[in-house]
Amino acid sequence: MELKKYKLSDIAKIEISGVDKKTKEGELPIRLCNFVDVYHNWAITNSLYDNFMCASAKEAEIAKCSIRKGQVAITKDSETRDDIGIATYIADDFTDVLLGYHCASITPNENFLDGKYLNAFMHTSYIQKYFENNASGSGQRYTLSNDTISNIPILLPSLEKQHKIGAILSNIDRKIELNKAINDNLEAMAKQLYDYWFVQFDFPNDEGKPYKSSGGDMVWNEKLKREIPKGWEVMPLNHWLDIKSGFAFKSETYLQDGTYKIITIKNVQDHHLETSGCDCINVIPNEIKDWCKLTINNRLISLTGNCGRLCIVTENNLLLNQRVGLIDCEKYLLNYAYALLSSKEFQTLCGNLAKGAAQANLSPIELCKSLAQLPPKTIIKNFEKAMSSLIKKYIQCEIENKHLQKQRDELLPLLMNGQLTIE
């Protein structure tokens, strides 16, 4: 396949966004597609609209920074070098959504460049190496200058081939987005189930009827200052749960690619483990604890920064770094513990317990001193059965998405160099 080389600014319009997250009097109400939205999504679709932050903007900013179908957005500035130059495709039209600060939009000249193809190309190691070599800054902040973005070298096959390559990769992406939507629904169902059983106390009684609504006995608990079902215990978390911190790896041993990925706080997102961009090692230190060698279905909690974020481990060959905690308890208690720590009550508690001026830190020891209700073993085991199918499906979707992402990232260079032909 013949490829022509262009400078990005010759075949696309580039706009740097300066729209902040504030709402100001006299400005027009808008939604913001922010850095995190660009960073975590291969494509921006209408399904993400409700997640966009509400803000305001001037008419000139709206004209300049509104996102439109066919564009590509990239992250421009970040505290770490690995987080810049991450691209996403704008897959739908929006009426009131602007690209937020620390990002740039790229509008392809449709006579030369297909947006889906450009998005895929921006994810290749070829371009990531370009960003790595040309990013400015050190220590606290890294950025891509306007000139660096403008001079991105783009390798293009014919427009017809671009359309075909873009269509192939978009089909994979649609499946990824479908799996994400499924998992969003599974998370909502899990939260609803926990609330129904352990907040409203309408878990099934011996007759299969909702406990509290059917007149189940409730008693006042002085420690919690609320009513709980009769026979339930109240005790500190540390009576049945432990949070084990990870290992202090030496950064000088890190590799860009290797056998084992190191999981840090940035990888622990809201109920999602993001392993792209992980530092790696090839040899596990002899002194590392066994629990730092993560396995599928392990549960993690962030202990620094956005404290209290939780996620499920969905792949192997991962190692736990310090300031990320492993939730450790008996197997039948794991789903209950995860749902409990995910609840509004404990998320608020994590925020209140976190200390530190520059960066918040959550002590797992202090967190585990907190009081919590502990239902009888039979009820928790029934909850485990109800949750297990949701968790199993969630893990399946996450694993499938990892395979699809790997397939997507490997397909483009093969399609570009002609190793795979397009009919």
Query: Could you read off the pLDDT of 379-412 as tens digits, one per residue?
Result: 999 999 999 999 999 999 999 999 998 888 888 7
**pLDDT at position 22 over 80:** yes
Rounded distance, CA 288 to CA 41, Å? 34
Query: What are the boundaries of each domain within the chain?
Result: 4-156, 159-205+376-423, 233-374
pLDDT in tens, 257-267: 899 999 999 89
Place 283 in a pLDDT band, splitting at 50, 70 and 90: very high
**pLDDT at position 174 over 90:** no
Give buried/exposed letters for 261-276 (b at 16+ CB in 10 A, else e): bbbbbbbbeebbbeee
Averaged over 334-343, what is the pLDDT? Answer: 97
Residue 302 is given by DSSP the state E
The strands making up 318-320's β-sheet, listed across from edge to edge, are 280-281, 260-263, 318-320, 293-294
pLDDT in tens, 90-117: 999 999 999 999 999 999 999 999 999 9
**pLDDT at position 276 over 90:** no
Q: Classify residue 152 by burial, with Cβ atoms within 10 Å: 0-12, 13-18, 19+.
A: buried
Rounded distance, CA 176 to CA 182, Å? 10
pLDDT of residue 422: 67
Averaged over 35-49, what is the pLDDT? Answer: 90
Averaged over 324-333, what is the pLDDT? Answer: 97
pLDDT of residue 1: 64
**pLDDT at position 419 over 80:** no
pLDDT of residue 139: 64
Shortest CA distance to 358 belongs to which of 304, 310, 301?
Answer: 304
**pLDDT at position 333 over 90:** yes
Class of domain 4-156: alpha beta
**pLDDT at position 324 over 80:** yes
The CATH number of domain 233-374, selected from 3.30.70.2860, 3.10.20.30, 3.40.470.10, 3.90.220.20: 3.90.220.20
Rounded distance, CA 43 to CA 405, Å? 13
Averaged over 323-339, what is the pLDDT? Answer: 97
pLDDT of residue 41: 86
Express as a percent the part of the chain with pLDDT over 90. 75
pLDDT of residue 411: 86
pLDDT in tens, 179-217: 988 999 999 999 999 999 999 999 999 999 999 999 999
Rounded distance, CA 74 to CA 83, Å? 10
DSSP string, 333-359: GHHHHHHHHHSHHHHHHHHHH-B-SSS
Rounded distance, CA 68 to CA 385, Å? 45
Averaged over 38-65, what is the pLDDT? Answer: 92
Rounded distance, CA 296 to CA 17, Å? 39
pLDDT in tens, 232-259: 999 999 999 999 999 999 988 899 889 9
pLDDT of residue 177: 84
Rounded distance, CA 216 to CA 376, Å? 15
pLDDT of residue 382: 97
pLDDT averaged over the chain? 93
Rounded distance, CA 324 to CA 264, Å? 6
- Tell whether domain 159-205+376-423 is in CATH 1.20.1630: no
Global confidence as pTM: 0.82
Fold matches, 4-156 and 233-374: yes
